[in-house]
């Protein structure tokens, strides 16, 4: 098939920031090659769906996204990548109309495969190191690490993204310089196990230090870091004014027996100790977390321990997942699966605890002047401006003015920098 006009292409990403980054790389390569990016809701010549498989809901959302594209344009070239494509390629191939299912190890070839499919000849080479095209010029996700070997009992990721790898320091720094040149003020370091970043003797704290020296990059944020990877060296690095006062530290459970069954290498009191260390070093830090409701065998007592720990920590945001068995994982074979209704009730209880904690944290900031970029404070509070809103890509100073019962936070612009 040879197109006279360059084809249009739309993208849809499910799941984590690593996936977001990988979709952006595909988009950039194809835009350099002349493809026109369109909205995912529109009729397009091609679609790329970067799937997730972290829960069974993620699997079904991935399938729904694929079906949606085929309704929008039954003749479209539909390319499916990501963790669900890696783990269940045959399930995806049964959906009539899917053009290509790509395994993780082949995802770098996606732009070339799409270009070859459309027979585009008057293009630049998509991987020739050309510059990415900026989009929002505010916050850019930068993947620095991939893969996990922890094998938490509920998690399918170590089977989908096998082994840990880190990008070379210079490669990351080159990308940051380019992003700064394009006007990006904030970068978010992302990885499946970000805390295990390693390039020779450069670990995450040194990587952050290098990033702070890049002119134009004003804010550095970390996507998520496992509790056992929050070391003092990292916290010392985070004192730098360019590093956002926010850590996302997955808890998963606040009960020692549940944590053991999950193969999480810490206890509830270890976790509390980590939080204490973090707060002692970084004043006003926002700490967010993930928690699983209804892990196999979770008794009422175990669940209550999780609720109690969450109340105690006062997280600024809580992501609640209902446990869903992932094929091939250890937890799927454990006895004592919790019925769907009980899981739902537990999840609702956790969500309510999280909502109250979020309001407490935001309320503790009322009257403080914080730096805001694109509606987000450095300590991870989403704000809406009463009155004049600041220019989109600028970091501004704003005073936190109020919080409503749903957790919506109002801010007043104080000054541009």
Binding site for ligand SF4 (CB under 6 A): 148, 150-152, 155, 157-158, 192-193, 226
Assess contact for 289 and 250: CB atoms under 8 A.
Answer: yes
Which of 387, 382, 360, 359 has the alpha carbon at shortest distance from 370? 382
**Could you tell me the smallest distance in angstroms from the CB atom of residue 158 to ligand SF4?**
5
Assess contact for 114 and 79: CB atoms under 8 A.
Answer: yes
Nearer CB in complex with ligand SF4: 163/200: 163
**Could you tell me the smallest distance in angstroms from the CB atom of residue 150 to ligand SF4?**
4
**Could you tell me the smallest distance in angstroms from the CB atom of residue 256 to ligand SF4?**
17
SS3 call for 104? helix
Nearer CB in complex with ligand SF4: 310/359: 310
Assess contact for 226 and 249: CB atoms under 8 A.
Answer: yes
Assess contact for 199 and 168: CB atoms under 8 A.
Answer: yes
Which tokens in the block code for residue 12? 């849809």
Nearer CB in complex with ligand SF4: 24/146: 146
Which of 302, 323, 253, 247 has the alpha carbon at shortest distance from 278? 247
**Could you tell me the smallest distance in angstroms from the CB atom of residue 154 to ligand SF4?**
7
Sheet holding 139-143, edge to edge: 139-143, 186-190, 219-222
**Could you tell me the smallest distance in angstroms from the CB atom of residue 402 to ligand SF4?**
36
**Could you tell me the smallest distance in angstroms from the CB atom of residue 193 to ligand SF4?**
6
Which of 83, 127, 90 has the alpha carbon at shortest distance from 104? 83
Nearer CB in complex with ligand SF4: 37/263: 263
Within its chain, how far is the Cα of 39 from the centroid? 21
Strands of 172-279, DSSP E: 186-190, 198-199, 202-203, 219-222, 246-248
**Could you tell me the smallest distance in angstroms from the CB atom of residue 362 to ligand SF4?**
28
Strands of 260-394, DSSP E: 286-293, 317-322, 369-373, 376-377, 383-385
**Could you tell me the smallest distance in angstroms from the CB atom of residue 163 to ligand SF4?**
12
Nearer CB in complex with ligand SF4: 8/289: 289
Which of 298, 227, 295 has the alpha carbon at shortest distance from 264? 227
Give the integer Cα–Cα distance in Å for 304 and 322.
16
Nearer CB in complex with ligand SF4: 175/290: 290
**Sign of the torsion angle spanned by Cα atoms 144, 150, 152, 158:** positive
**Could you tell me the smallest distance in angstroms from the CB atom of residue 74 to ligand SF4?**
36
Nearer CB in complex with ligand SF4: 156/347: 156
Nearer CB in complex with ligand SF4: 241/328: 328
Nearer CB in complex with ligand SF4: 97/250: 250
Give the integer Cα–Cα distance in Å for 13 and 405.
31
């Amino acid at each position: 098939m040879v197109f006279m006009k360059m084809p249009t292409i739309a993208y849809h990403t499910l799941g984590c920031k690593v996936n977001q980054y990988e979709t952006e790389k595909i988009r950039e390569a194809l835009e350099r090659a002349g493809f026109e990016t369109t909205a995912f809701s529109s009729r397009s010549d091609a679609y790329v769906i970067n799937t997730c498989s972290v829960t069974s809901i993620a699997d079904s959302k991935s399938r729904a996204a694929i079906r949606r594209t085929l309704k929008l344009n039954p003749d479209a070239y539909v390319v499916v990548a990501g963790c669900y494509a890696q783990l269940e390629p045959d399930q995806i191939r049964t959906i009539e109309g899917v053009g290509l299912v790509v395994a993780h190890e082949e995802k770098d070839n996606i732009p070339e495969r799409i270009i070859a499919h459309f027979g585009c000849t008057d293009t630049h080479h998509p991987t020739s190191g050309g510059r990415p095209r900026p989009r929002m010029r505010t916050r850019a996700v930068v993947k620095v690490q991939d893969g996990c070997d922890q094998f938490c009992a509920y998690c399918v990721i170590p089977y989908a993204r096998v082994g840990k790898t880190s990008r070379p320091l210079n490669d990351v720094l080159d990308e940051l310089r380019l992003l700064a040149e394009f006007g990006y003020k904030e970068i978010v370091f992302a990885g499946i196990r970000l805390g295990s970043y390693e390039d020779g003797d450069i670990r995450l704290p040194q990587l952050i230090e290098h990033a702070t020296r890049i002119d134009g990059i004003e804010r550095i944020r970390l996507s998520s870091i496992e509790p056992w990877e929050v070391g003092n060296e990292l916290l010392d690095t985070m004192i730098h004014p360019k590093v956002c006062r926010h850590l996302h530290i997955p808890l998963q459970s606040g009960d020692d027996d549940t944590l053991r069954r999950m193969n999480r290498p810490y206890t509830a009191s270890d976790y509390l100790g980590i939080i204490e260390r973090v707060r002692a070093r970084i004043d006003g830090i926002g700490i967010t977390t993930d928690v699983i409701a209804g892990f196999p065998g979770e008794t009422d007592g175990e669940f209550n321990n999780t609720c109690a720990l969450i109340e105690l920590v006062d997280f600024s945001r809580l992501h609640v997942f209902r446990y869903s068995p992932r094929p091939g994982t250890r937890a799927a074979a454990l006895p004592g699966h919790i019925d769907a209704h009980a899981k739902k009730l537990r999840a609702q209880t956790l969500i309510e605890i999280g909502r109250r904690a979020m309001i407490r944290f935001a309320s503790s900031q009322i009257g403080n002047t914080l730096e805001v970029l694109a509606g987000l404070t450095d300590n991870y509070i989403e704000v809406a401006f009463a009155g004049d809103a600041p220019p989109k890509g600028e970091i501004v100073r704003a005073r936190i003015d109020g919080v409503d019962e749903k957790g919506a936070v109002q801010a007043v612009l104080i000054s541009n920098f």
